């Protein structure tokens, strides 16, 4: 059985996989996972509050990712992390297939690290401050099948690069400042892509 090693002095996230205990497994110390399962890591994770609810743990520097097997994490959900620690993502590129950036408030400075994740088939981001020009560097993610850049800071111009993503099947535009005419134009340019 594979073993994932996390810092033992704190919980840096929460793990989940098919058959994992309900509520996930704290990402701390040594965690053994069953063979052949796709592991999902949420950073930061959650802990139980005294009143029985769930509290989000503080933002974790992502440097700990470098200690994991390069193919050990299939999906990564980042809810809070220092933007400067995103360089550690590249270590997971061989196995990482899905990335979620959830209200992280990242800027274009985060995009070079994301662009190195060439195995991604799914990318979803919202609550960030990406620019139309900045997201163009994601064109190198040639395996993307689903792309959801649901950012209020973007316009239709942000999606120019999607014409060069050969496997793209779904493009999500929620919260993007686009008109119906611009959505229609995207649909015309990419008739085999579900744009919405």
DSSP for 76-141 reads EEESS--GGGGGGGGGGTTT--EEEEES----GGGHHHHHT-TT-SEEEEES----TTGGGGGGG-
Domain parsing of the chain, residue ranges: 35-195
pLDDT at site 144: 98
Determine the pLDDT at residue 23. Answer: 83
Per-residue pLDDT of 131-185, as tens digits, reads 999 999 999 999 999 999 999 999 999 999 999 999 999 999 999 999 999 999 9
- pLDDT reported for residue 50: 64
In CATH, the number for domain 35-195 is: 3.80.10.10
Yes or no: say if 93 and 73 are a contact pair by the CB < 8 Å rule.
no
Q: Contact, 121 vs 166, CB < 8 A?
A: no
Helix (H, G, I), strand (E, B) or coil at 8: coil
pLDDT for position 60: 75
Determine the straight-line distance between the first and last CA of the chain, rounded to whole angstroms. Answer: 41
Residues in the chain with pLDDT < 70? 1, 45-59
């Amino acid at each position: 059985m594979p073993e994932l090693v996390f810092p033992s002095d704190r919980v840096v996230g929460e793990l989940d996989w098919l058959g994992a205990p309900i509520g996930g497994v704290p990402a701390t110390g040594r965690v053994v996972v069953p063979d052949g399962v796709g592991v999902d890591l949420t950073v930061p994770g959650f802990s139980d509050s005294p009143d029985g609810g769930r509290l989000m743990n503080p933002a974790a520097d992502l440097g700990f990712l470098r200690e994991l097997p390069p193919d050990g994490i299939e999906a990564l959900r980042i809810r809070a992390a220092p933007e400067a620690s995103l360089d550690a993502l590249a270590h997971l590129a061989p196995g990482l297939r899905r990335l979620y950036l959830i209200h992280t408030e990242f800027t274009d400075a985060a995009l070079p690290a994301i662009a190195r994740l060439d195995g991604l088939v799914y990318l979803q981001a919202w609550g960030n401050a990406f620019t139309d020009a900045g997201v163009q560097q994601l064109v190198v993610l040639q395996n993307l099948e689903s792309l959801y850049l649901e950012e209020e800071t973007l316009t239709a111009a942000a999606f120019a690069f999607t014409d060069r993503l050969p496997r793209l099947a779904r493009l999500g535009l929620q919260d993007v400042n686009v008109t119906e005419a611009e959505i229609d134009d995207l649909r015309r340019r990419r008739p085999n892509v579900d744009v919405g």
